[in-house]
């Protein structure tokens, strides 16, 4: 029988999606499942984006340019200008989601066996993208006790080897909700310039910054022009996860020219999704103001309710719409599956994402889960009550 590749065997399962069969079985039994496991916003997609597709008169759905249509890239550059980021259309490659942007970036700047340093816990698919690209994730540990702040510079520097090619951050962070300060970005800038590394910043949650904090992009930092690579996406910003449109942004011409070769090999990003994404750029600021107010309200009530549960520890997010929760259990994977298979409260249960999959260091995150607060407030309150009662029974 033909063999599966070692790379294929090494690809991790998604900690977010691997419990789906158990959730589906629970639903078949008539149990209502509150989905806290995945960052699929329930916020309505801007009508202007939906209408752009609905009212389009295309007669041939043709390929676009491999780097994305020039009109769309110019409009993206205008959007960035409003965020104090100065780039032009030639600094942008439109991709099929932020995922493809990361894969193109890894392929453009790293060879098999090279290393990328990532503060952990981190977005679980960074592990998968790294394995698919034949590169090694070197984690630098951030801790729930510190609210997942940037680890000390010394922690980064002792991990840098001749194989290190980049530092990757998610800002604001998935799964922690941590928002890096301007000072922290400047510290990272010093490291990458000193050691001649790339600084990759996944900034797909840029709009979601709370408590008066402002997002500071790696593209705003002077002197990083040849070092900074920004990853972006329409998925969360406009509640358009299914559009699968993202982009790579960099002033480093060699990076963009190389990434374009990968883009040419997959021909082009999807045409209709670009039409929707281009229209979404016309979304008024009032949309984001309402969305941010809603998420802050959800965050506050979630944290408040979680802090009432004995033995539970939670870091307060400064951005995005996730938080890491430490539970009084030994194995969050087992607990998450048990919730779906064996527990219900008034015909309801919850689906969470075990956090071990957001670490690459073995043994970390085993008693943690990630919660995405993308549900309305009454559902979040009900969910935390389910969690509280479930912990009593599970530990009893």
- Domain span at residue 160? 47-280
pLDDT at 212 over 90: yes
Average pLDDT of the segment spanning 307-328: 96
Q: Is the peptide bond before 382 cis (omega within 30 degrees of 0)?
A: no
The DSSP line for 4-37 is PPHHHHHPPPPTTTTTHHHHHHHHHTT-EEEE-S
- Local confidence band at 396 (pLDDT 50, 70, 90 cut-offs): confident
Does the residue 1 lie in any domain? Answer: no
| Average pLDDT value for the chain | 96
Looking at the structure, tell me whether residues 266 and 389 fall in a common domain.
Answer: no
The single residue listed with the structure tokens 């965050």 is 299
User: What pLDDT is stored for residue 18 in this prediction?
Assistant: 81
**Separation CA 128–CA 131 (nearest Å):** 5
Instruction: Point out the domain boundary residue: 263, 280, 297.
Output: 280
- Local confidence band at 109 (pLDDT 50, 70, 90 cut-offs): very high
| Digit-coded pLDDT (tens) for 261-297 | 999 999 999 999 999 999 999 999 999 999 999 999 9
Does the residue 108 lie in any domain? Answer: yes
Average pLDDT of the segment spanning 347-366: 95
Q: Please state the pTM of the whole predicted model.
A: 0.95
- Local confidence band at 14 (pLDDT 50, 70, 90 cut-offs): confident
Does the residue 300 lie in any domain? Answer: yes
pLDDT at 16 over 80: no
Q: Tell me what percent of the chain is helix, strand and coil, each rounded to the nearest 5.
A: 40, 15, 40
* CATH code, domain carrying 276: 3.40.640.10
* CATH code, domain carrying 385: 3.90.1150.10
Number of folded domains in the chain?
A: 2
User: What pLDDT is stored for residue 244 in this prediction?
Assistant: 97
Average pLDDT of the segment spanning 12-29: 89
Looking at the structure, tell me whether residues 16 and 76 fall in a common domain.
Answer: no
Does the residue 24 lie in any domain? Answer: yes
Spatial contact of 204 and 247, defined as CB atoms under 8 Å apart: no
Average pLDDT of the segment spanning 233-241: 95
pLDDT at 242 over 80: yes
């Amino acid at each position: 029988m033909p063999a599966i590749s070692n790379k294929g065997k090494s690809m991790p399962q998604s900690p977010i999606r691997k419990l789906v069969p158990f959730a589906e079985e629970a639903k078949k039994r008539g149990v209502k499942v509150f989905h806290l496991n995945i960052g699929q916003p329930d916020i309505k997609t801007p009508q202007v984006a939906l209408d752009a597709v609905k009212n389009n008169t295309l007669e041939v759905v043709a390929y676009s340019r491999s780097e994305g249509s020039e009109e769309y890239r110019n409009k993206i550059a205008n959007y960035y200008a409003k965020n104090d980021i100065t780039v032009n259309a030639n600094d942008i490659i439109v991709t099929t989601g932020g995922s493809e942007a990361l894969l193109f970036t890894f392929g453009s700047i790293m060879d098999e066996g090279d290393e990328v340093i990532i503060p952990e816990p981190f977005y679980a698919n960074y592990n998968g993208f790294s394995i698919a690209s034949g590169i090694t994730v070197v984690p630098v540990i951030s801790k729930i006790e510190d609210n997942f702040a940037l680890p000390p510079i010394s922690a980064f520097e002792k991990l840098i080897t001749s194989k290190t090619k980049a530092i990757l951050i998610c800002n604001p962070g998935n799964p922690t909700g941590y928002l890096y300060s301007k000072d922290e970005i400047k510290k990272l800038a010093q490291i990458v310039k000193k050691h001649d590394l790339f600084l990759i910043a996944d900034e797909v949650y840029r709009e979601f910054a709370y408590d008066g904090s402002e997002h500071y992009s790696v593209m705003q930092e002077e002197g990083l022009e040849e070092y900074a690579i920004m990853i972006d996406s329409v998925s969360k910003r406009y509640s358009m996860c299914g559009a699968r449109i993202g982009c790579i942004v960099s002033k480093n011409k060699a990076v963009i020219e190389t990434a374009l070769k990968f883009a040419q090999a997959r021909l082009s990003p999807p045409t209709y999704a670009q039409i929707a994404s281009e229209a979404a750029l016309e979304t008024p600021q009032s949309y984001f103001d309402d969305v941010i107010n809603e998420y802050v309200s959800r965050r506050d009530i979630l944290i408040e309710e979680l802090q009432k549960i004995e033995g539970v520890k939670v870091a307060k997010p400064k951005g995005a719409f996730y938080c890491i929760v430490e539970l009084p259990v030994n194995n969050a994977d087992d607990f998450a599956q048990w919730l779906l298979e064996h527990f219900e409260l008034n015909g309801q249960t919850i689906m969470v994402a075990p956090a071990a999959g957001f670490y690459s260091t073995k043994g970390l995150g085993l008693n943690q889960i990630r919660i995405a607060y993308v549900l309305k407030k009454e559902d979040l309150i009900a969910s935390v009550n389910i969690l509280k009662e479930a912990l009593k029974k599970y530990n009893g």
